[in-house]
């Protein structure tokens, strides 16, 4: 926000902090890259349901029996597991 925009908000009878809070509520606000993020990482039940659904889609939808990709299903699923592991490891290092 530029200085003239701050003055404009103040001229409208709205405090700068109120305008900031309203924008944070409308558009979401997250801590900066160097700040601690106290939000939950995930809802465990929702995350497990999503991973289960992803496995079903990959195994049954992308590589169903009788297709060429069925022969590659195991490596496809292990690739997905490795991707999740790398993502969790990366986030754990960021939080530490």
The pLDDT, as a whole number, for residue 95 is 62
Alpha-carbon dihedral 76, 81, 82, 84, rounded to 10 degrees: 130
* Tens digit of each residue's pLDDT (9 = 90 or more) over 18-50: 777 887 777 877 777 787 777 777 788 998 999
At 91, the pLDDT band (50, 70, 90 cuts) reads confident
Q: Is the pLDDT of residue 80 over 80?
A: yes
**d(C-alpha 14, C-alpha 52), whole Å:** 48
Which region, left, alpha or beta, applies to residue 13 given φ > 0 means left and ψ of -120 to 50 means alpha? Answer: left
Give mean pLDDT, residues 52-58: 92
Domain boundaries of the chain, sorted by first residue: 1-30, 35-96
The pLDDT of residue 64 is above 70: yes
Beta strands in the chain (DSSP E): none
At 74 the pLDDT is: 92
């Amino acid at each position: 926000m530029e200085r003239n925009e701050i003055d404009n908000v103040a001229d409208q009878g709205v405090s700068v902090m109120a305008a900031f809070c309203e924008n944070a509520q409308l558009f979401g606000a997250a801590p900066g890259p160097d700040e601690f993020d106290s939000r939950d990482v995930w809802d465990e039940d929702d995350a497990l349901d999503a991973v289960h659904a992803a496995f079903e889609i990959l195994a049954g939808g992308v590589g169903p029996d009788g297709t060429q990709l069925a022969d590659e299903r195991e490596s496809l699923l292990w690739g997905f597991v490795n991707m999740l592991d790398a993502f969790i490891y990366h986030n754990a290092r960021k939080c530490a």
